[in-house]
Structure 1
Amino acid sequence: MQQKYLPLIIAAALSALSVSAQASGYRFGSQSISGQGTADANSAEAVDASTIFYNPAGLTRLDGTQISAGATVVVPHSTFNDTGSTHFTGAPTGGTAANDYAPNSVTAPSLYVSKKLNDQWAVGFGLFVPYGAKLDYGNTWTGRYALSNIKLEAVNLNPSVAWKMNEHHSFGFGIDAEYMKAELGQAVDVPGSIAALSSGAGAAQGAALIKQIAALGGNPALLRTAGDAHGSNDGKDWGWGFNLGYMFTLDENTRFGLAYRSSISHQLRGSTVWDFSKVTSDPIVNQVLAAASHKTNSAALVALRTPETLSANVFHQFDSKWAGMADVTFTRNNRMGDLDIQFPGTTEGNEVIRQQWKNTVRVSVGGNYAYSENLTLRAGIAHDQSPVKSAELTHPALPDSDRMQYSVGANWKLSPRSSIDFAYSFLDFKDANINYTNQCNPLATSCTGNGETTRGVYQTHMSLIGLSYNYKF
């Protein structure tokens, strides 16, 4: 692929990312339309160039040069019912209901190219979206002190090579170059801070603020009507990893596969901006409150390590019409510990989003039916565990839960060289309870946070519609 086109392709991929939806965590599950049609049970089938993602050893089964270009449209539906979110003072946060926080629809692209060099060697290149999240709750919802918006985007470039040792054993290897960028916003609890400084242990500090505002010519009375400030962070980074595949072909009808995809370390570097300009109508009051918060615009740094996966799969052709397949994928999610947002160059303590994820298993089974020479029908079902341990560790950035996936699909041959894949999936999530408390508060100097408690129930389901075009040279 010519180098001049790569930035354009990456830009197109990043501009069309999905809500974190299909696989557990932030991972975007289906990376091909043929795979989606069987609920991603077809990793050992190696039917097209998307085997680069699922098992690169399958490249040895593909003839000539093949290309597969597709897109999956995600149509989410999610509601949040608040059950008592509070300031760090214990008072209700108030605010508006969370409406339309998930996008109406988004699209995630994929592109795979494979080439058979000879009877033993094959190479390939994949471009796909491994992770994505996009939620915008707005600045006034009841959980705004935990999060107002999040956008996580990633694209992976995956050159691969495969070697066929003999008729039974094939091996594959790929390099992963992953670009990731993220944005996160949240309210700053100024009203709660003022309330905490109006009496008790904070009264002296509150009186000093009033005196300072008056001395500078401001109007201390506006403290009673103060609203929220707002903070925003962004960061981006390239990371590197690898993936391995092995395929054992028992006979012409049966094969088994093993695939491993490594974790990737990222150092997301960017900036943090704190905005106190709309807290009150008096710039002097706003300036004093901003200074008292010890929050200054600065660089931002988030270190994270993506989960690694290990998959085992099988494919069997029962007869000329029917084929069955299955996949079990283990994901080491405990690589994703707490997220620490650091503010280099300042005395401000880290902001910690507690996650402490658990490892998960995804199980899928599927089948193909050759309806005719030109039409193959597919179906599959999968159960995917959530890495979130409990309601106390559920954060609005990822209101995740266990889910079932039900998929159907089809491949229609347009000619001996070209075909179209179509897939539809319905994902049904269990209700996700949230009872998350930030262990810092806005008056603390050793850490950053609002000390809020976000309580409620998420109810989510979604549809995925996939379409791809395949061509053989």
Structure 2
Amino acid sequence: MQHKYLPLIIAAALSAMSAGANASGYRFGSQSVSAQGTADSNAAEANDATTIFYNPAGMSRLDGMQISAGATMVVPHSTFTDSGSTRFTHTPTGGTAASDYVPSQVTAPSFYLSKKLNDKWTVGMGMFVPYGTKITYGNTWTGRYALSDVKLESVTLNPSASFKLNEQHAFGFGIDAEFMKANLGQAVDVPGSVMALAGTPNAAALAKQIAQLGGNPALLGTAKDAHGANDGKDWGWGFNLGYLYTLDQNTRFGLTYRSSISHQLRGSTVWDFSKVTTDPIVNGVLQAASHKANSAALVALRTPETLSANVFHQFDAKWAGMADVTFVRHNRLGDLDIQFPGTAEGAEVIRQQWKNTVRVSLGGNYVYNDNLTLRAGLAYDESPVKNAELTHPALPDSDRMQYSFGANWKLNARSSIDLAYSFLDFKDAQINYTNACNPLATACTGNGETTRGTFKTHLSLIGLAYNYKF
């Protein structure tokens, strides 16, 4: 029951929300502090080693060997207001309000290195965090039967190369080695199951079995939630391509593509019924009746691919403008089928059916003096979630606006520091998600809960990076 969400966290994951991302889905949108300062609109600028992520063809513009090492701290704020979450029995879930369920801050590092080999070839290596999220609602909140906590961590290694055909045309390509690690927790609706069975032959059989084993059947009326926890990890492989067209010394156009990556997320699931009642015999009988046994977990999924078009223009010695349009094929994530190899437990289907999205960003640079360049930008990013009925607590996503400003300060001829701040304002996210299974079903896994309410979210991004030219 738990394991099934592994894909969610990671599939969607494949992106990031409340807790830690600024792009739609689970994608961590900022892979460069200099780019963050322009709301990630500067892919065609190709002014430092972070172009390895945004457009590897841009390495053709870099001289010598260059490095860029940075970190982006995400400071989220999110609230949830419940509006009538229910069990599969259509009775209230009870529980407590969700509060402080996002971390005070999370930090994502990045590192890029480029080396010019000759007039034609430049090679590089990038390391960055493509997806991530961390949400801890707790074991007692009203939506606990859908999710109690989720954590997704990922890192991508991206060796790359660029080839400069002539002064107008440059091409780039890279290999993506992507590692993902996920943890997820969820309550098990034992109280609802006991209530639903009350007065039936099955309830009488349970009571009789407990009594025969020396337990106290009366404790069935005091049953509390059980809990499931799982983890999983996997390496996946993909590639990225880039093209940069230089019209003249002031104007450049870029196209970039980053492929989908297939993952077979493998892990384990542990079910804890030890606190359902004060009687271990009752707990053991209830766990056996639930058909939930510790097991392996398997989820197959694919991350979304992206296609971007961008432009950069230097208006004069002081001002430059830039823009980017990125298409994300989020419909790679349809219904998630989570399987439990080696058990008779039916899979759980998580309905997502994401839609493809577009992100549009505009930005500009202003050279204040020889040592200081100021940046600013804004972006509109669509959410892949179609509606409230397909919104899950692991990703209470919505459309958002990003407002950014930043600066580059030259310390000397070889080194500089980038700073950036962004504010992301999310539209209210309505949730009315119902799990299509229930705890008494044998052909599938799920609590059958309906989670209803409203998420309100905004977050800040604070970035710092150091650049050096050898």
Greater alpha carbon shift after TM alignment, 212-221 vs 47-56: 212-221
Greater alpha carbon shift after TM alignment, 376-385 vs 329-338: 329-338
Give the distance between the partners of 1:51 and 1:345, measured in 2 at CA. 46
2:437 paired residue number: 440
Give the distance between the partners of 1:341 and 1:185, measured in 2 at CA. 14
Partner of 1:53: helix, strand, or coil? helix
Is 1:427 aligned to residue 450 of structure 2?
no
Give the distance between the partners of 1:397 and 1:440, measured in 2 at CA. 18
Please state how far the C-alpha of 1:353 moved relative to its aligned partner: 1.9
Partners of 2:328 and 2:356 within 8 A in 1: yes
Give the distance between the partners of 2:460 and 2:417, measured in 1 at CA. 20
Query: Structure 2 counterpart of 1:63, which letter?
Result: D
Q: Could you give the per-residue CA deviations for residues 111-162 of structure 1, whole angstroms, max 9, x where no partner exists? A: 0000111111100000000000100111000000000000111100000000
Greater alpha carbon shift after TM alignment, 68-77 vs 350-359: 350-359
Partner of 1:291: helix, strand, or coil? helix
Summarize the alignment of residues 230-249 of structure 1 with structure 2, pairs less than 5 Å apart: 230-249=227-246
1:457 paired residue number: 454
Partners of 2:431 and 2:451 within 8 A in 1: yes
Summarize the alignment of residues 280-359 of structure 1 with structure 2, pairs less than 5 Å apart: 280-359=277-356
1:418 paired residue number: 415
1:66 paired residue number: 66
2:251 paired residue number: 254
Query: Structure 1 counterpart of 2:308, which letter?
Result: S
Please state how far the C-alpha of 1:19 moved relative to its aligned partner: 2.6
Give the distance between the partners of 2:21 and 2:143, measured in 1 at CA. 21
Partners of 1:236 and 1:269 within 8 A in 2: yes
Is 1:380 aligned to residue 377 of structure 2?
yes
Q: Could you give the per-residue CA deviations for residues 57-114 of structure 1, whole angstroms, max 9, x where no partner exists? A: 0000001000000000000000000000000000000001001110000100000000
Partners of 1:18 and 1:132 within 8 A in 2: no
Give the distance between the partners of 2:125 and 2:432, measured in 1 at CA. 43
Give the distance between the partners of 1:287 and 1:228, measured in 2 at CA. 14
Partners of 2:251 and 2:314 within 8 A in 1: yes
Query: Structure 1 counterpart of 2:53, which letter?
Result: F
Query: Structure 1 counterpart of 2:176, which letter?
Result: D
Query: Structure 2 counterpart of 1:139, which letter?
Result: N
Query: Structure 1 counterpart of 2:204, which letter?
Result: A
- Give the structure-2-normalised TM-score: 0.96
Summarize the alignment of residues 103-114 of structure 1 with structure 2, pairs less than 5 Å apart: 103-114=103-114
Query: Structure 1 counterpart of 2:86, which letter?
Result: T
Query: Structure 2 counterpart of 1:175, which letter?
Result: I
Summarize the alignment of residues 3-402 of structure 1 with structure 2, pairs less than 5 Å apart: 19-199=19-199, 203-402=200-399
Partners of 1:75 and 1:462 within 8 A in 2: yes
Partners of 2:18 and 2:102 within 8 A in 1: no
1:9 paired residue number: none
- Give the structure-1-normalised TM-score: 0.95
Partner of 2:441: helix, strand, or coil? coil
Partners of 2:18 and 2:135 within 8 A in 1: no
Partners of 1:349 and 1:445 within 8 A in 2: yes
Partner of 2:89: helix, strand, or coil? coil
Give the distance between the partners of 1:224 and 1:347, measured in 2 at CA. 28
Partners of 2:18 and 2:396 within 8 A in 1: no
Give the distance between the partners of 1:303 and 1:99, measured in 2 at CA. 32
Partners of 1:49 and 1:67 within 8 A in 2: yes
Partner of 1:248: helix, strand, or coil? strand
Q: Could you give the per-residue CA deviations for residues 316-348 of structure 1, whole angstroms, max 9, x where no partner exists? A: 000000000000000000112222221000010
Partner of 1:183: helix, strand, or coil? strand
Query: Structure 2 counterpart of 1:420, which letter?
Result: I
Partners of 1:68 and 1:471 within 8 A in 2: yes
Please state how far the C-alpha of 1:18 moved relative to its aligned partner: 8.9
1:6 paired residue number: none
What 5-or-longer segments of structure 1 have no aligned partner? 1-16
Q: Could you give the per-residue CA deviations for residues 384-417 of structure 1, whole angstroms, max 9, x where no partner exists? A: 0000000000000000000000000000000000
Q: Could you give the per-residue CA deviations for residues 413-471 of structure 1, whole angstroms, max 9, x where no partner exists? A: 00000000000000000000000000000000011100000000000001000000000
Partners of 1:103 and 1:135 within 8 A in 2: yes
Query: Structure 2 counterpart of 1:471, which letter?
Result: Y
The structure showing larger relative contact order (alpha-carbon pairs under 8 Å, at least 6 residues apart) is 2
Runs of 4+, deviation exceeding 6 Å:
none
Partners of 2:18 and 2:76 within 8 A in 1: no
What 5-or-longer segments of structure 2 have no aligned partner? 1-16
Partners of 1:421 and 1:467 within 8 A in 2: yes
Give the distance between the partners of 2:216 and 2:270, measured in 1 at CA. 25
- Identity, % of aligned positions: 80
Q: Could you give the per-residue CA deviations for residues 15-63 of structure 1, whole angstroms, max 9, x where no partner exists? A: xx99342000000001000000000000000010000000000000001
Query: Structure 2 counterpart of 1:186, which letter?
Result: Q
Give the distance between the partners of 2:208 and 2:423, measured in 1 at CA. 60
Give the distance between the partners of 1:423 and 1:47, measured in 2 at CA. 16
Query: Structure 2 counterpart of 1:72, which letter?
Result: T
Give the distance between the partners of 1:350 and 1:60, measured in 2 at CA. 49
Query: Structure 1 counterpart of 2:24, which letter?
Result: S
Give the distance between the partners of 2:66 and 2:48, measured in 1 at CA. 7
Please state how far the C-alpha of 1:354 moved relative to its aligned partner: 1.5
